[in-house]
Structure 1
């Protein structure tokens, strides 16, 4: 996959030079490149589109003046609301979320080297030494990798309000409309049946826990007819990138930064992201 290969090449350049990598920026660029490839079949990094998409995600979650003053809007057959809905579904689902899952997962692994070491051992025992990119067949055998991703999604639900699929219910007796939203973050804590808020669990606990809406204490992608339609693509992108990051490189923190100093503070928006950038020093393992 070209996008993964390019990301690995950038990290390898930094590893050769012994320099620091802004993993927040790199993972965002990777997710944006994947979305561009899916939507348009083109690769837009050279056109500066990566920065444009990040600004788009920020604006989609911001204040909309027309919602308070509808007269300011103009209606067409294809309305602005239609276009906005399509943009949110495609780019919110394919860019920001995957990058944020990867960043939270990698940051948490840096805080807990035992878990990172165990994950690296699994990946490197399955992938032949010297192989450039981890294949889908090899990903299917990485049980601990999937457990780590599940645990990251439980600790840091990227879309705590889930995607903006909303249902309207009419009450005939009063003709009143009620807005039914969906919240997932509270389900992943102690009230949702998982008794370890803020603490990583053993992989055996999460082995049989599914992400496809069957286990109602864990719904990172929603459930039922309105479950995220891109669930398989999103999981595949996260698994592929994380496996390659773990296979090709060992990771260190910049000089003067300790593991306890890694700030996991969240910033709310259309999705949840880390407040601080994740800066790491890669060491080539290949």
Structure 2
């Protein structure tokens, strides 16, 4: 969350008891009556003056907002629910039918923190819908994350997977922090495809991006009460966002310099695949775009792609390994498939991946049971409209609770059980057409990096399962493995995953 729950509770109490509360409440009543215009809003839980439903959503008892919202929706029996979070009207879609309508919204609400983080230029994630967003979206889909470009990064993914195996083999029989190793491997692979080589200040960048997550995640009082100046003082995230912006952009300047120095040292007669920064700088130099591509845009795009390409993929892989440890028969089946297909090869390559059918089902089931973006990235209603027969006022923030949808017994048999086999006879996929399974979203704002993410996850997971057998630390049984969630910009394991590896298929010397 943007603030610890204790801080949130204290700040909300101040909001309630400050002398200006009554004035703010009257102002909110006037605004709500003007916005609603007597329309028929979706069902809503009871609310308090001033803070609306904040006391029900942001609680110390259950800090996982997607779970709290799921409980509220169930109690109301409301596939589309209306909440008032301070001054902000919100709708939450909790069924596939509701998600189908809500995901037609293409606009994004822009928090004060997001504006501060991207004050020098926007990437495609939080950019308002319009000509600039459409252009940056095309750049991402066609030039940066298209199938050909993703294939060109294959050598990087394979090398980083081998490095992960070599590093883990060096600690055979020890208890290894698998979460940490997976995160480092995904981060290194992503940095290299972004700027062409390992970034010399990668640890600093990872730390600052962790701060970015804290700044962006959850609710900030200056967003919940935008008309109240004191809200920013009590619990605003603008100042932390400004500090984070300075630090990350200084690191981006360093990465650009490192990139230029490397380019200057390369023989110009040698043909090299372009990294993502190469592509963006070339497009900036060539011009011809409807909206010029600024250096601020380039930095924002790189940071957006790096954030989205590391945390979500690394967290999904950690959940996958945890579920495999909790389900030994699934682990054995996945390993048997991989080892049968590779038949003693020195390492996993991407040529092997198309034949690893069950491995793909394991990843799909992990995305279903543990969607790392359980409420997706928020949308915004740009004009008053009707959703499922209800009136939704202009400016309403829209959330889709994919965590609840993915566990709904209406769509999924034995919905809370990790069972990859369910997809053997199920044609449902995550490409945005089946709204009961949309971990990457859908519509015009669907994640453009699906192919990039899947390529990273498949090679890493296949390598870990091919080369090693895995055991839980002494004294921990599969049923006792801690699966507690922690909410950030994405949902991750609260505790790192520690496992003991036993090397089964060594890397050959020339593969290390």
TM-score normalised according to structure 2 size = 0.49
Q: 1:182 to 1:62 in 2, by over 3 A?
A: closer
**Corresponding position: 1:30 with 2:172:** no
Out of 401, 407, 426, the position equivalent to 1:183 is 401
Alignment of 1:52-131 (within 5 A): 52=207, 53-61=209-217, 67=223, 68-69=231-232, 86=301, 89-131=304-346
TM superposition shift of 1:46: 6.7
The aligned counterpart of 2:198 is: 43
The aligned counterpart of 2:169 is: 12
Cα distance in 1 for partners of 2:420, 2:176 equals: 30
Q: 1:47 to 1:155 in 2, by over 3 A?
A: closer
Residue by residue over 1:115-170, the C-alpha shift from the partner in whole angstroms, topping out at 9 and shown as x without a partner, is 000000001111131322x2222111111111111111111111111235x24321
Residue by residue over 1:45-69, the C-alpha shift from the partner in whole angstroms, topping out at 9 and shown as x without a partner, is 6752464243443343266676554
TM superposition shift of 1:272: 0.2
Aligned length: 278
Q: Would you say the 8 A contact 1:190–1:196 is kept in 2?
A: no
The aligned counterpart of 2:3 is: none
Q: 1:21 to 1:144 in 2, by over 3 A?
A: same
Q: 1:24 to 1:90 in 2, by over 3 A?
A: same
TM-score normalised according to structure 1 size = 0.85
Unaligned stretches of 5+ in structure 2?
1-157, 224-230, 243-292, 386-391, 506-512
Query: What is the root-mean-square deviation of aligned Cα atoms in Å?
Result: 3.1
Residue by residue over 1:236-270, the C-alpha shift from the partner in whole angstroms, topping out at 9 and shown as x without a partner, is 11111100111000001112222222111101111
Out of 367, 375, 379, the position equivalent to 1:161 is 375
Q: Would you say the 8 A contact 1:97–1:158 is kept in 2?
A: yes
Q: Which has the larger radius of gyration?
A: 2
Unaligned stretches of 5+ in structure 1?
none
Secondary structure (helix, strand or coil) at the match of 1:137 reads coil
The aligned counterpart of 1:211 is: 430
Secondary structure (helix, strand or coil) at the match of 2:343 reads coil
Which structure would you say has the larger RCO, counting Cα contacts within 8 Å and 6 or more residues apart? 1
